[in-house]
Amino acid sequence: MDVLLILPILLPLLTAVAALLVWNRRPVQGALGVLGTVALLGAGLALLDAIWRDGVRTLQVGNWPDPFGITLSADLFSAIMVVLAGLIGLAAAVYSLGSMDPDRERFGYYPLFHFLLMGVCGAFLTGDIFNLYVWFEVMLIASFVLMVLGGERAQLEGGIKYVTLNLMASALFLAAVGILYGVTGALNMADLAHRLRYVEQPGLMTALAVLFLVAFGIKAAVFPLFFWLPASYHTPPVAVSALFSGLLTKVGVYALIRVFTRLFVQDAGYLHAIILVIAGLTMVTGVLGAVAQTEVRRLLSFHIVSQIGYLLMGLGLFTPAALAGAVFFMAHVVLAKAALFLVGGIAHRLRGTYDLKKLGGLYRSHPGLAVLFLLPALSLAGLPPLSGFFAKLALVWAGLETRQFAIVAVALGVSLLTLFSMMKIWNEAFWKPLGENDPPPAGGTSPALWLPVAGLAALTVLIGLAAGPLFVLSLRAAEQLLGM
Amino acid sequence: METVLAFVIGGLYAAGLYMLMRRSIVKLVIGLALMSQAANLLIFTLGRLIRGRPALIPPDAAALAGPFADPVPQALILTAIVISFGVHAFTIILVKRAYQTVGTDDLDDMRNTDLLS
């Protein structure tokens, strides 16, 4: 029994149950939440360390032999994702302590938060395609409730779009799993990878692959399936937005990378060309959508879409270096994006609005916040020596190696537009003097708001400084993905 | 039997998609339910239809002999039905709350979160 593999699923579950048991004592729930996410982060790091030393780990739940039972399996990529889930969970849990309103806490915010983390970690650790569906649903149902908890009008409107599109994706995913089982008679991913090599129906295989691409594409918010994301991600409280932006779409990308490096590699050239085109279009439409926005959270939502394109670019290029770039980029974008959402939340606390037109003067009054914004923002745009620079460098380098110059040009152009977009936030919210008729500052802040932002911003710097060892780790993860 | 089920599945998908395209949020929920039922039937049909041969070993035999109904697709469908039950129950409540809060059941009037602020 390999305890390390099951801990990242068990710990959030136990935390959620414990939080349910102290339903009426909300401060205890909050403290439990922080403890639980610290433990999750620790378990993730221990798992990463164990896999780094001993290689891929698997666990047959209930001791059923290999292709029949429920399999949990983790390689370096899964372990890195679990660590990221722990980090984002911790940041959001601490931020919630200072920002969540009592009404949401009263209706089970903390238990739901941990059920969501359980679903996310389950999706990262499962070795079975049907269980992936089940973990997706665990994650989705928790995210549905977190999305609409509070029942504000915008939340309900955004929630309907979010729920509908995600349920449609689930139905497509389920159908794809059913067809896959009908064709191969297997659900275990390692077993599937083996059996799919001997399937002599290229037409059916392509249809299946595209079905998976669409189902996970909706969840990952790629072009042209991303419209639910900017319609809904800005509606819940900012701690929830940060959690969603850090984890949910990334689970979709994780599933895409998993499926298209392991299962559908027969006519790889054809599929990966499609993925590259989608990647380019996702980057461009996301960043152009952001240009027109003046609401900080909506603007950042479009940037989530744009950054998903970079992750797909790594998958589309399909070399070890490119996949390593995607893994590295994942670590970078998850942290930077969550940090930006949380900075937006602090700005809202200080000024009472998310509207860039009404914000202003934050550099003068809160230079610390300005620094905390600039670090992840410039990192997202890809300025050295921050994390984004090395992530993009790896992807661009891989693109030049495989002579895919079009996608490299798009990636560089979009970087420039991202910088432009981040500078727009800087100019409007931080640099521009505060207008005279504007409302007075809305409320105070507490250390619980500043700590996670400072931590995440420091991590974007740290990743940049430790880019060498981390890239070696990403490369090992990519080699494991490709079965080298 | 497979042919009949194939048409039923196709019909369910078509009806589900048609309902999803309507503007009423109630029809949206019905469309989602139809889509997930279609997926369940699809799994059932693709698991091969074999009548009257459950996957049970007879008392006097040591192993299963001959063609038997695969229990795995049925287990998958059972799981999927339970999940979709929970999810659809949530969706129906969401639709009710949205109708009460927004005051309309027309999706075209629910564009506030898409408009430029």
Give pTM, 2 decimals: 0.93
A175:B39 CB<8 A: yes
* Residues 6 or more apart in contact with residue A202 via CB below 8 angstroms: A266, A267
Q: Locate tokens 């609409």: which residue?
A: A148
Residue A185 — very low, low, confident or very high, per pLDDT cuts 50/70/90?
confident
Considering only residues A340 and A385, tell me which one the structure prediction assigns the higher pLDDT.
A340
Cα separation, A212 vs B75, in Å, equals 21
pLDDT of residue A65: 79
Residue A413 — very low, low, confident or very high, per pLDDT cuts 50/70/90?
very high
A181:B101 CB<8 A: no
Within 10 angstroms of residue A427's Cβ, the number of other Cβ atoms is 12
Of the partner residues B25, B38, B102, the one whose CB lies closest to the CB of residue A153: B102
Q: Which sign does the torsion angle of CA A29, A33, A34, A39 carry?
A: positive
A174:B25 CB<8 A: no
Q: Is the pLDDT of residue A440 over 70?
A: no
Can you tell me the ipTM of this complex? Answer: 0.93
Share of chain B above pLDDT 70, in %: 96
pLDDT of residue B115: 65
Q: Which two tokens stand for residue B74?
A: 């049925």
pLDDT digits (tens, 9 = 90+) for A263-319: 887 666 688 889 999 999 999 999 998 888 888 899 999 999 999 999 999 999 888
In chain A, which residue's Cα lies nearest the Cα of B30?
A164
Helix (H) or strand (E) holding A464: helix A447-465
What residues are paired with B27 via a beta bridge?
A: none
Q: Is the pLDDT of residue A439 over 80?
A: no
pLDDT digits (tens, 9 = 90+) for A62-81: 788 777 778 899 999 999 99
pLDDT of residue B64: 79
Within 8 A of B113 by CB-CB distance, chain A residues are 154, 157-158, 161, 231-232, 234-235
- What domains lie within chain B, and their CATH numbers? 2-50+70-103 (1.10.287.3510)
A143 touches chain B (CB under 8 A): no
pLDDT of residue A295: 87
Q: What is the mean pLDDT of residues A20-36?
A: 89
Q: Is the pLDDT of residue A208 over 70?
A: yes
Q: SS3 for A223? A: coil
What residues are paired with A70 via a beta bridge?
A: A61
B35:A159 CB<8 A: no
Residue A414 — very low, low, confident or very high, per pLDDT cuts 50/70/90?
very high
Within 10 angstroms of residue B1's Cβ, the number of other Cβ atoms is 8
A175:B43 CB<8 A: yes
Domain locations along chain A: 1-266, 268-484
pLDDT of residue A335: 93
In total, the C-beta contacts within 8 angstroms joining chain A to chain B are: 115
Cβ-contact A88, A104 below 8 angstroms: no
Q: What is the mean pLDDT of residues A310-333?
A: 92
Q: What does the angle CA B11 – CA B14 – CA B20 come to, to the nearest 5 degrees?
A: 140
Residue A206 — very low, low, confident or very high, per pLDDT cuts 50/70/90?
confident
pLDDT digits (tens, 9 = 90+) for A441-455: 556 778 888 899 999
Output the average pLDDT for chain A: 89
